[in-house]
Amino acid sequence: MESIQWLINLFTDTESVAHIVTLYAVVIAVGVYLGKIKLLGISLGVTFVLFAGIVAGHFGFTAPLPILNFMQDFGLILFVFMIGLQVGPGFFESFGKAGIKLNGLAATLILLNIFVMFGCYYAFFDTRDPYNLPMMVGTLYGAVTNTPGLGAANEALYSVMGSNSPQIASAYACAYPLGVLGIIGATILLRYICKVKLNKEEADLEAQAEADVYKKPHRMHLEVTNKYLEGKTLFQVHNFLNREFVCTRILHDGHVSIPTAETIFHVGDQMSVVCTEHDYEAVVAFIGPTIEVDWDHQDRPMASKRIVVTNPKFNGKTLGALHFSRASGVNVTRVTRHGMDIFASPSLPLQVGDRVMVVGPEDAVDRVASLLGNSVKRLDAPNIATIFVGVLLGIIFGSLPFIPGMPLMKLGLAGGPLIVAILIGRYGYKFKLVTYTTTSANMMLREIGLVLFLASVGIKAGANFYDTVTEGDGLLYVLTGFLITVLPIVIIGPIARIKYKFNYFTIAGMVAGTYTDPPALAYANSICSKEAPAVGYSTVYPLSMFLRILTAQLIVLFFCG
């Protein structure tokens, strides 16, 4: 018996570090593997870690409460910060013309979720019981499948009720599975309510595929035929035309050169030009017709090379301030950022991780490549200092009351790091903070934070979960959670379709993004060959995540105190 005592201690000695590590390893591994099992083509993913933790907690496989609280809070901070860092660069740009409408619909959807929750609370529960409303908050965040919101509500509850705060993760766990199915089911129902034909929606997307003409670069070769341009400099032509374009090379009297602002135009010159698709016709009309030119067989062949910006010194520097054409004899024609080609306007600030297309003499292009870094290996190393500086600032910011005289009104450990991460992701380059992180590194840190949070919440909730489901209001949480999930989609979906004329696939992506639900996005992607679901998802996701976290705290602080 003594020979296996060490094994028994490993699973029973809750004060042992080895026991705590074993607990988290078992809960996370089991939860992740079970989460891969699909039912009707849908899986719960890493969220199953929550259920694995509940089972462990129910059978007494647990850890000291201070350890569970630390792992829960640290995991939540890491999770929301990496989300903010990823969405930060596109957060403010998501508020374009169509983006404002989509985000407005998403915000309305979030408010409707809250209104339905309160409606269910007053209709089905005893309002004199102080625990019922917090449990409905847990149901709300299970119904909308938003884990950071659960974390924010948990933290706010502890600040209001202390150690007497209820385990709202039990209600969250009751509502979550049907929440995932309800989002997809309501999206399918919306298709029949609005009489949508998927083939027609695909055809409409095809017709709109070239709609983003303001950023998409267009390359062409022109011959100068406008006699007015004779003797004018490139700088003057830019001012006359009042359109952004980049002249990458020019052929004059059989000689190829890289033009600068002082280059003089002559009738008959041939040039390679890049502009946005929106400006294409205006540039052609002003300079001259498009032609075919064999640049490789001229007296001075030019090289074009895609260079990766990895030198932190250039983070945040605008292309205009770098004077590549004047100082190095090369021109930048376009920039690829997050997989999207952007026209290289002089006002565009570079960021570490950008891929820039540079045209010019081969030796000059190589010099620019060396200057910008062009070392892909450098991008593989995450910028740990930026992450933890951001976490520190986020915790400080989240601890500040945002209404003077009301110390409980603060963003907390979830909202503070999220907002700081968004701001750093967007404006960090102005403070010499390199925020670039590879997608795999971001996902790894985010997932580690998420599973630590889910495991901790599940283990803590496990002791009371069985009683909640069998003897408490578990089934009522399931029912009310389903109503919270479905009713707002059925209301907002037709409005988005009929009033604002959004494509069905964009609406499906918007719904998935508002509910921050990857399985719903996966379903939308499975029925659409275009990027519309992903565009709708990413447009509303940042604001939705922020509002979910913020409203979780506001509900608790205003109504559960």
282-293: per-residue pLDDT in tens?
889 888 888 887
The answer to whether 218 and 277 are in contact (CB under 8 A) is yes
Which helix (DSSP H) or strand (DSSP E) does residue 216 occupy? none
Please give the share of the chain, as a percent, with pLDDT higher than 90.
11
Question: What values do phi and psi take at 476, rounded to 5?
Answer: -70, -35
pLDDT of residue 302: 67
Confidence check: pLDDT of 433 > 80 = no
pLDDT category, 317, cuts 50, 70, 90? confident
**So what's the pLDDT on residue 139?**
93
Q: Quick one: CA torsion of 59, 158, 137, 512, rounded to 10 degrees?
A: -90
Instruction: Tell whether the model's pLDDT for residue 399 goes beyond 60.
Output: yes
**pTM score, two decimals?**
0.61
DSSP 276: E
Q: How many CB atoms lie within 10 A of CB 244?
A: 18
pLDDT of amino acid 292: 83
The helix/strand/coil state of 483 is helix
Task: Confirm if 85 and 442 have CB atoms less than 8 A apart.
Answer: yes
Give CA–CA dist 241/323, Å, rounded.
21
pLDDT per residue as tens digits for the range 219-256: 888 889 888 888 888 888 888 888 878 887 888 887 87
Q: Which residues contact 347 (CB under 8 A, 6 or more apart)?
A: 318, 319, 320
How far apart, in whole angstroms, are the C-alpha atoms of residue 497 and residue 197? 13
Residue with tokens 């993760």: 169
Position 111 scores a pLDDT of: 96
Q: Which two tokens stand for residue 143?
A: 């119904």
How far apart are the C-alpha atoms of 451 and 447, rounded to whole Å? Answer: 6
In percent, how much of the chain has pLDDT > 70?
80
What contacts 394, CB < 8 A, 6 or more positions away? 77, 81, 416, 417, 418, 419, 420, 421
Cβ atoms of residues 483 and 124 within 8 Å: no
In this predicted structure, what is the pLDDT of residue 385?
A: 80
Q: How far apart are CA 469 and CA 464, in angstroms?
A: 9
CA distance 100 to 87: 16
Q: Is the pLDDT of residue 69 over 70?
A: yes
pLDDT digits (tens, 9 = 90+) for 338-361: 556 677 777 777 777 778 888 777
- Length reported for the chain: 561
Residue with tokens 């062949």: 301
For residue 112, the model assigns a pLDDT of 96
Range in 119-128, 175-184, 279-288 the model is least confident about: 175-184
Give pLDDT, residue 6. Answer: 65
pLDDT digits 0-9 by tens, 540-554? 877 887 888 888 888
Q: How far apart are CA 223 and CA 473, in angstroms?
A: 77
Secondary structure (3-state) at 289 = coil
Q: Which two tokens stand for residue 60?
A: 């007494």
**Which of 157 and 114 is assigned the larger pLDDT?**
114
Task: Look at residue 107 and tell me whether its pLDDT is greater than 90.
Answer: yes
Say which residue, 316 or 272, is predicted with more confidence.
272
Q: Which residue has the higher pLDDT, 48 or 436?
A: 48
Res. 141: pLDDT tops 90: yes
The predicted pLDDT at position 179 comes to 81
Q: What is the pLDDT confidence band of residue 468, given thresholds at 50, 70 and 90?
A: low
Q: Is pLDDT above 60 for 404?
A: no
* Burial class of residue 63 (count of CB atoms within 10 Å of its CB; 0-12, 13-18, 19+): buried
Report pLDDT for 116: 96
Give the pLDDT of residue 45.
67
| Per-residue model confidence (pLDDT) at position 484 | 96
pLDDT at 497: 92
Q: Which residue's entry shows tokens 């409409």?
A: 204
Sole residue written with tokens 């009371």? 464
d(CA 455, CA 438): 26
pLDDT in tens, 327-343: 666 777 777 765 566 77
- Of 321 and 507, the structure prediction assigns the larger pLDDT to 507
pLDDT at position 134: 92
- Contact of 367 with 327, CB cutoff 8 Å: no
Mean pLDDT of 277-304: 76
Does residue 137 register a pLDDT over 90? yes
pLDDT at 273 over 90: no
Query: Nearest CA to 143 among 413, 489, 472?
Result: 489
| Beta carbons within 8 Å of 75's beta carbon, 6+ residues apart | 448, 449, 450, 451, 452, 453, 454, 455, 456
Confidence of residue 377 (pLDDT cuts 50, 70, 90): low
Lookup: tokens for 76: 């939540």
- pLDDT, tens digit, for every residue of 37-61? 776 665 666 767 878 888 888 888 8
- Of all helices (H) and strands (E), which one includes residue 536? helix 532-559
Residue 299 has pLDDT above 80, yes or no: no
* Pick from 531, 538, 530: nearest CA to 512: 538
Q: Report d(CA 147, CA 156) in Å as an integer.
A: 14
Beta-ladder partners of 356: 307, 335
Instruction: Give SS3 for 382.
Output: coil
271, exposed or middle or buried, with CB in 10 Å at 0-12, 13-18, 19+? Answer: buried
Q: Which residue carries 């909640």 as its tokens?
A: 468
Say which residue, 261 or 128, is predicted with more confidence.
128
Q: What is the mean pLDDT of the chain?
A: 79
Given a contact cutoff of 8 angstroms between Cβ atoms, the answer to whether 283 and 274 are in contact is no
pLDDT in tens, 143-171: 998 877 887 888 788 878 877 778 788 88
pLDDT value for 323: 74
Q: Name the pLDDT band for 215 (thresholds 50, 70, 90).
A: low
Is 295 within 8 Å of 302 (Cβ atoms)? yes
Task: Name the token pair of 252.
Answer: 């004059």
Residue scoring higher pLDDT (488 or 557): 488
Element (H, E) at 222: strand 217-223
